[in-house]
Amino acid sequence: MMASGNANIWEDMGLTAEEYAMIEEHLGRRPNELELALFSVMWSEHCGYKYSRALLGRLPTKGSHVLQGPGENAGIVDIHDGQAIVMKIESHNHPSAVEPYAGAATGVGGILRDIFTMGARPVAGLNSLRFGRLTDSHQRHLLKGAVAGMAGYGNTVGVPMIGGEIYFDDSYSGNCLVNAMAVGFLDKGDPIAKGIAAGVGNPVMAAGTPTGRDGIEGAAFASGELTEASAERRSAIPKGYPEMGKRLIEACLEAIKSGHLVGIQDMGAAGLTSSACEMAARGEHGIELNIDLIPVREQGMTPYEIMLSETQERMLFVVKAGEEAQVEAIFEKWEVPIATIGRVTDDGLLRLKCGHKIVAEVPAEALASAPIYQPASRRPQYLEETSSFELNSIAEPDDHNHVLLRLLASPNIASKEWAFQQYDYAAGGNTLVPPGLSGAGVIGIADTNKAVAFSVDCNSRLCYLDPASGAAAAVAEAARNLVCSGARPIAVTDGLNFGNPEKPENYWQFSEAIDGIADACRMLDTPVIGGNVSFYNESKGKAIYPTPVIGMVGLINDKAHICTQSFKEVGDVIVLLGENRGELGGSEYLQVVHDLVTGCPPKLDLDLERRIQQVCLEAIEEGLVNSAHDCSEGGLAITLAECCIQGQLGAEITLDHEGLSGAALLFGESHSRIVLSLPAEYLDRLRKIATKRGAPLQTIGRVQAGSIKVAVSLKDEHTTQPQILIDLPVQELENTWRGAIAGLMES
């Protein structure tokens, strides 16, 4: 085979001189241009995780529930009775920044394929979206396109979108984040499929959309900074085909259950190249493909274009020899194109042929094993200023009512119903808690009394101010949201979004966040079973806030234990689990009222967090409480307001000042706090549970009709009487909270 005429073509493909030398060593010769292209995409950060793999090993990945951890298309956890949950989260950030509809739609399609590739039927989706300020028309364009793309794909295939989060901050103005999470069920007797190639001579088949020129070099596009030049590469953004996706789900699940398949793999990033080499490497075999047999939808496509295309809704199979006809019949029934394009070999090579001519021949294991790097790491200089900021210098507001309304109108806190109303969240008929009623979405398991809850969380502002603490807090909040819904947290899938890892400050943030996630997951017994790393999220040299998104699953053994956040009955006692420490560092209050992102973020005591969650869950499972809602962005005042709005009821609250200012007490964002409401006759039993666990608990008020009143016993030299800081009709709270995002989107 001839070497490329351009001796430095590897530079144009994003490879270093050292990596080119490694490739020559693997091959024992100089690569040709096609072979070099295969290595360039597989050794990109997007496919090869070369800057992240060394640190991902710090995460806990084993546990009593774990059936499949990282390394396959998705993770699997056992929920007993022969049933299991499959879940995964992935990013589609750069594509969504360029073509928001297509980028978000293909993000949903890709994550759904990861689920059914394991043999599980997708049952729900969640999302984590981040954009710049909605006062910017371009950010509104991005949000509209991304939500429409997710809705368009998910609604077409019939998978309900049951939850998620949307945040807005200037750090995402040049590089939005679109993370999609999907979950599926494996039922009794369902086989778990694997992405392996084995059995010399077994045929390799491709099914789904014929390969086109869309998405070529998409992996390389996602492995670099988003610049004005790269943003013009719309050819790198593939289009989704949800109608084909829906048929592909049914055909693949039937084929897996038929027993005719040896292995199955989605053609995701790097398309046919990644699926073929990864299957061969996992199975310790080789794969030979005949380029001429691969179905294409455009004339004159070169081997380079065919192998690097990221056309969506395509799958690769290894089929048991002699059973090709049965597999073809299944796909023909579902009107999904399928063709035999190669065979399994015993030499460990990915061999590409055009007719009888070999056009590329590389070791599959080398292709699937990018070099591992650990760049320099350095604590960012900005932390010297933020960590020493004196929060006491912030003036106390004159009107706390006004502040509460401003916070309710903040897009980070306001109702996200503008988005989730576009989703068919009732598809499938098993959605028990739709978006907006709880911090977690809940799906029932048919023919059982069980349900599963899912949450997605990350306060990236806290991660910016302290990546380790902020990442741990994301795990804690995800678990807290599950517990408040009545679910016992069991596992995590993480979507790790950061800037350029070759910059020491960014790599330090990533390393710290990994440690924070690991610490929290160990304490809460929620191992990480899979996920995604997305680097190079920056524009004009400035990175996004570090954003380690945590997707988590929890198990509800009895549907009667499902709990939501709304107040239910006038006269119920309102209780706070946890302590008000008045921590305002990194709070929504500082951002909205004072335009500041600074200070030390709230301290997280993971042992206290675990005990608080245990008390909440035990109380819910005993049927003591009518509502549960965790305190997060906006603090205690926002938590109470949301409980009132959702329940169309008010509350009368009295708080001890505990040495705190009114703003700190109302809007501070201390962790490990949950607001419960319950009948008065159950209060003694709740106190006993809290005492047994060593968890702080205080009664702070009662549910009433009409309005929310919050009084604080300031007890200063001027007065010993409670001072009313909040007094607002619930209807005014609701109008502000519900109308904020819709009003901005219509502007």
Which residue in 289, 243, 239 sits closest to 107, CA to CA? 239
From the candidates 65, 92, 629, 671, give the one annotated as an active-site residue.
Answer: 92
From the candidates 46, 94, 561, 629, give the one annotated as an active-site residue.
Answer: 46
**What dihedral do alpha carbons 343, 347, 352, 354 form, nearest 10°?**
-70
Give me the helix-helix angle, 137-157 and 100-116, nearest 10°.
30
Question: In this structure, are strands 349-354 and 314-319 parallel, antiparallel, or unpaired?
Answer: unpaired
**What dihedral do alpha carbons 27, 29, 33, 37 form, nearest 10°?**
30
Can you name the residues that pair with 266 across neighbouring β-strands?
315
Which residue in 56, 79, 318 sits closest to 184, CA to CA? 79
Enter the tokens of residue 72.
């396959």
Can you name the residues that pair with 573 across neighbouring β-strands?
678, 702
Quick check: 190 and 246 in contact, CB under 8 A?
no
What is the arrangement of strands in the sheet containing 707-713, beginning at the earlier edge strand? 627-630, 674-678, 573-577, 697-704, 650-656, 707-713, 723-729
Quick check: 414 and 645 in contact, CB under 8 A?
no
Between CA 10 and CA 33 the distance in angstroms is: 9
Enter the tokens of residue 367.
């292709």
3-class DSSP assignment, residue 556: strand
Between CA 561 and CA 545 the distance in angstroms is: 37
Which letter, b or e, does each residue of 99-118 get, where b requires 16 or more Cβ atoms within 10 Å of its Cβ? Answer: bbbbbbbbbbbbbbbbbbbb
**Long-range contact pairs involving 444-447 (C-beta distance under 8 Å, separation at least 24):** 444/559, 445/79, 445/83, 445/185
Quick check: 313 and 241 in contact, CB under 8 A?
yes
In the residue annotation, 718 being an active-site residue is answered as no
How much is the CA Rg of the chain, to the nearest whole Å?
A: 26
Half-sphere exposure of 497 (CA within 13 A, CB side): 32
End-to-end CA distance of the chain: 60
- Number of residues written out for the chain: 747
- The 3-class SS string of 296-364 reads ECCCCCCHHHHHHCCCCCEEEEEECCCCHHHHHHHHHHCCCCEEEEEEEECCCEEEEEECCEEEEEEEH
Between CA 90 and CA 149 the distance in angstroms is: 16
DSSP 417-470: HHHHTTS-TTTTS-EEE-TTSSSSEEEE-TTSS-EEEEEEE--HHHHHH-HHHH
CA triple 540-541-543, angle to 5 deg: 105
Enter the tokens of residue 318.
């290894």
Between CA 130 and CA 168 the distance in angstroms is: 6
Half-sphere exposure of 215 (CA within 13 A, CB side): 27
Can you name the residues that pair with 184 across neighbouring β-strands?
86, 122
In the residue annotation, 94 being an active-site residue is answered as no
3-class DSSP assignment, residue 723: strand
Residue 443 amino acid letter: I
Q: Please report, for residues 12, 95, 194, 269, 544, the alpha-carbon distance to residue 220 in angstroms, rounded to integers and kept in the order given.
A: 11, 12, 26, 9, 19
Residue 526 amino acid letter: T
Burial group, residue 82, by CB count within 10 angstroms (0-12, 13-18, 19+): exposed
Which residues are designated catalytic? 46, 92
